[in-house]
């Protein structure tokens, strides 16, 4: 019934289901016109290969157990994230600047960011589907992590430090 009243509704929903980018709607005082995207520009990357290995009745492969992955890895990430809360509040609540506390905060922030971006790469660019892109982003993440770590070290040793900089910006 909705398609009888608005024939463009079916066209818009069909395009939205085919493409990642939904059609944009320009809203002006004079007219409301839908700007449709073509199917050639739907995604940034083409869809991954649709390959089925084996048959439907084959069992799923069970990965080998590894202490660095799975529940231990998840528990470490959550403990690090929970530890950031007191590390972030303590320097400002105590009122004193401690370079050791500042260094621990910076190290925890860098490690937390690295693990978060690592999860993004694993989720969105799996090694089995995009091996080249996965490796490229993995190396870019490692390079960015080292760059940020060196930058924070330089800021901590040759400048005022992170907590003092935040205090100064907050009072400005």
- Model's pTM, two decimal places? 0.64
The domain over range 98-171 is classified in CATH as 1.20.1300.10: yes
For the chain, give the percent of residues with pLDDT over 70.
70
Q: What is d(CA 30, CA 49) in angstroms, rounded to the nearest whole number?
A: 45
- Binding site, by residue number, is 112, 124
Residues marked as binding for heme b?
112
Q: Which of 67-76, 145-154, 158-167 shows the lowest per-residue confidence on average (mean pLDDT)? A: 67-76
* Residue extents of the structural domains in the chain: 98-171
For 2-57, write each residue's pLDDT tens digit.
445 455 545 555 554 554 444 444 444 444 445 555 555 556 667 777 777 788 88
Annotated binding-site residue numbers for a ubiquinone: 124
Cα–Cα distance measured from residue 34 to residue 43, given in angstroms and rounded to the nearest whole number: 19
């Amino acid at each position: 019934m909705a398609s009888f009243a608005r024939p463009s509704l079916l066209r818009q929903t069909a395009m939205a289901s085919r493409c990642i980018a939904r059609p944009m709607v320009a809203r002006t005082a004079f007219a409301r016109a839908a700007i449709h995207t073509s199917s050639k520009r739907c995604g940034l990357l083409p869809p991954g290969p649709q390959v089925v290995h084996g048959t439907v009745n084959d069992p799923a492969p069970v990965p080998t157990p590894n202490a660095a992955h799975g529940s231990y890895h998840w528990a470490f990430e959550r403990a690090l994230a929970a530890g950031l809360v007191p590390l972030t509040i303590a320097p400002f609540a105590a009122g004193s600047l401690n370079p050791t506390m500042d260094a621990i905060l910076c190290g925890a922030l860098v490690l937390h960011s690295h693990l978060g971006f690592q999860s993004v790469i694993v989720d969105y660019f799996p090694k089995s589907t995009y091996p080249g892109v996965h490796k490229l982003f993995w190396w870019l993440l490692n390079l960015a992590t080292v760059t940020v770590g060196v930058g924070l070290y330089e800021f901590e040793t040759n400048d005022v430090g992170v907590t003092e900089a935040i205090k100064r910006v907050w009072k400005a």
